[in-house]
Amino acid sequence: MADIESLLKEKRVFKPKPEFSRQANWKKSTINEYRRLGAKNPERFWAKMARENVSWFTRWKKVLQWKAPNAKWFVGGKLNVSYNCIDRHLEGDNAWRRNKAAIIWEGEPGDSRVITYGELHREVCKFANVLKGLGVKKGDRVAFYMPMVPELAIAMLACTRIGATHSIVFGGFSAESLRDRINDAGAKVVVTADGGYRRGAPFPLKPAVDDALKGAECVEKVVVVKRTGTQTEMTAGRDLWWHEQMQGASTKCAPAKLDAEHPLFILYTSGTTGKPKGILHTTGGYLTHVTTTAQAIFDLKDEDVYWCTADIGWITGHSYVIYGVLANGATTLMYEGVPTHPAPDRWWEIIEKWGVTVFYTAPTAIRTFIRLGDEHPNGRDLSSLRLLGSVGEPINPEAWIWYNKVIGKRRCPIVDTWWQTETGGIMITPLPAGVDTKPGSATLPFPGVDAAILDDDGDEVEPPNGGFLAIRKPWPGMMRGIWGDPQRFRETYWSKWKDIYFAGDGAHRDKQGYFWIMGRVDDVMNISGHRIGTMEVESALVSHADVAEAAVVGRPDAITGTAIVAFVTPRGGVVYGDTLSKTLRDQVAKEIGAIAKPAEIRFTDALPKTRSGKIMRRLLRDIAEGKESVGDTTTLEDYSVLARLRGDE
C-alpha cells in the first residue's frame, strides 16, 4: 500500500506574541526543558507532572507497569478525582476559592446560574449521599442521559467521590442506543432529566429512558432532574425526582481513597454498527494527563473564564469542560443550547456577557460562523479573549486564518489540538508561549508523548510524505481497554504493529517536524493509484473566498478507481452554479494538483454532522454513490440535511 500523499502547501507562520509568552504558565525555557525530559525519560516527566499537578493520599510505588497493550500508571497510588477538582481548592492557601465561580451555566432560554467551589462541594457531597442511599457502591456503574445542565457535572463528581464508574450517554442518542450502552456497562442507576432546551423549544429525555429500560433489567433506580417542567411520567418505586432526593441529603461525604487504576468512566464511541464500544479510562493517569495539559495548553489562570463548547457527552466535555479545568481551580462555562439560537451571534453574546478569556471549539462551528458572516462577531465585544483553541477534526488553514483575524483580532494564540476519546487527553498541540504555529497544523507532540508517522511495516515515514499516525510509547491518559472486550481492544488498536498504538488517522510531518493530520484513514481516497486525504482537498476548496465549508468523499469510478465528489456550502449571498463549480475545480488543481480535482461538485446549504460537530462522511459517501444510508444515524444533528442532499425536499 502506497504512502498517503501530502499535497497541501501551507507556508504561513505565526510566532508567539511576546506579551503572551511573558505571562505564560509554561514559558519557552520550561517547554524546552520538558521536551528534553519527555523525550529522554517519559516516565520521569509524567511522574513530575503527577507530583506537581495532582494531590495524592498515598504516593505510587511504581510509575508505569507496561505489558502491551495493557498499562498501569502510578501503581499503588491512592487519590480521588472529586477531591482534586473541589476539596483542595477549599483548603490552605487556596481557601479563598470557596467563593470563586467553579461553573458558570447559561441555559438556552437565557436563564443562568453561577456555582462557586464551596457550593459545588456541598451539592456534590449531597448527591454522593443520594447515590449511596440508592445502594450505589464503589465499582458500580451509573449511566447519565442528560442535557447540558450543572446537575450533570455535580453527578459526575459525586460518582468519582464514592468510586462509582460513570457512563455518560449523549442526550441525542435513541432509546435503542441508550439501552445498548446501559446493558453493556451494567448500569445500576440512570440519572436523566425531564428534558432540555434546543432551538427554542423543550425536547424530552425521560420518555427515551422509559423506552430503553424496557430491555435493561440491570437498572434499579432512575433519578430525574426537573429542567423544562413538562409533564413527565414517573414509575412508582423506580423513578425519583432529583430535587426531592437532595432535600434531606447530608452535605458531608468524605472522598473515597481510590487506587490509581480504579475505573473512572466508560465512554462509548460512535461506531458504525454492531456492539457499542465502551472506552474505559481510569483515575490517576487520566487525571494527571488532563490536569497537566489543561494548565499548559490553555494557560489557565485564576482570573480566567474558560469556555469549551463541547457537550459533556463527548470526551472533550469530560476532559476539558469538567475534570482538567476544575482540577486547576479555574472557572468553566457550560452552555445548554445550539450556537445560533435565538440569533447567529449567540456565542459571541455569551463571550461578551461573561467576559470569556479562553475559548475552545470545533472547526465545523468556526466554518458555520464564516458562512453566517463577520457582522455577527464584529457586533459584539470580544476583547476579553486571550487564547483560542480548536478540537475535533483538522482545521482548514483558511478557517484558522478567519478564527485568528475575526475572533482573536490577531492578538490571541490558537492551539489546534489533536487527540481522541481513546487517548483521554490532548496529544499533539502548540504550546502557546513557545511554539510557532502554522495554519492547519497541530504542530508538535506534547512533552512525554511519542507520536510518529509510520508505513504499513511500522517504519517511520520520511517528511514530507504521509502515512499512519501512531503512538509508540504508553502515556498516562491512555484508554485501559474496551469495557468487557479485551480481544476487540487488542485487534482495534494494537494489531497493526507490535506494541504500537494505531490512531486510525493519516498524517504527515513537514521538514520542521510539524504534524499535519490528514483525516481518518477510512476516508483516504485512492485516485489513479494516488492515496489522498480528504482534509487537503477540503482545504483547497475552503481557501476560495466564496466557500464557507466543504467535505469531499470518494465514489467508485471505472477509470480512476475513485472519483472525488465535493459537497460545498457557499458563503451567505454567493450565487452558485456551473461557473463557480468550474472555478472551484480549477482552484483545487492550482492549489494541490490536477490529480485531486473533484469530478463533481454539489452545492448544499448544510452538511450532515453529529451534534459534536463532526461531518458524517459515511453518509455523504452513500449519497455520492446513490445508496440508501445504513448504520447508526442517531447522532445526526439535523435529519433534514440528508433529505435536502438527496433531493427529497
Domains and CATH numbers, the chain: 81-100+118-256 (3.40.50.12780), 524-646 (3.30.300.30)
- Share in percent of the chain as helix, strand, coil (round to 5): 35, 25, 40
* 273 pLDDT higher than 60: no
Average pLDDT, the chain: 91
pLDDT in tens, 133-164: 999 999 999 999 999 999 999 999 999 999 99
Stretch (H or E) spanning 21: helix 18-23
Q: Round to whole Å and give the CA distance between 126 and 119.
A: 11
* 386 pLDDT higher than 80: yes
396 vs 126 pLDDT, higher one: 126
pLDDT of residue 554: 86
The DSSP result for 525-559, as a single string, is: EEETTEEE-HHHHHHHHHTSTTEEEEEEEEEEETT
pLDDT of residue 638: 62
pLDDT of residue 57: 98
| Choice among 280-289, 386-395, 429-438, 525-534 with the minimum mean pLDDT | 525-534
pLDDT in tens, 241-268: 999 999 999 999 999 999 999 999 999 9
Q: Round to whole Å and give the CA distance between 544 and 373.
A: 15
Are the C-beta atoms of residues 146 and 153 closer than 8 Å to each other? no
How much is the average pLDDT of 428-443? 96
Per DSSP, helices labelled H in 24-141 are 28-40, 42-53, 81-85, 117-133
In this prediction, residue 231 has a pLDDT band, given cuts at 50, 70 and 90, of very high
The DSSP result for 437-465, as a single string, is: B-TT--BSBPTT--EEEE-TTSPBPPTT-
* 492 pLDDT higher than 50: yes
In this prediction, residue 2 has a pLDDT band, given cuts at 50, 70 and 90, of very low
Name every residue whose Cβ is closer than 8 Å to that of residue 33 and which is 6 or more positions away in sequence: none
pLDDT in tens, 55-96: 999 999 999 999 999 999 999 999 999 999 999 999 999 999
pLDDT in tens, 314-364: 999 999 999 999 999 999 999 999 898 899 999 999 999 999 999 999 998
pLDDT of residue 308: 98
Q: Round to whole Å and give the CA distance between 113 and 106.
A: 7
pTM, 2 dp: 0.87
In this prediction, residue 524 has a pLDDT band, given cuts at 50, 70 and 90, of low
Question: Three-state SS string across 373-421, please?
Answer: CCHHHHCCCCCCCCEEEECCCCCCHHHHHHHHHHHCCCCCCEEECECCC
Are the C-beta atoms of residues 272 and 173 closer than 8 Å to each other? no
Work out the number of other CB atoms within 10 angstroms of the CB of residue 423. 23
How much is the average pLDDT of 397-419? 96
* 631 pLDDT higher than 60: no
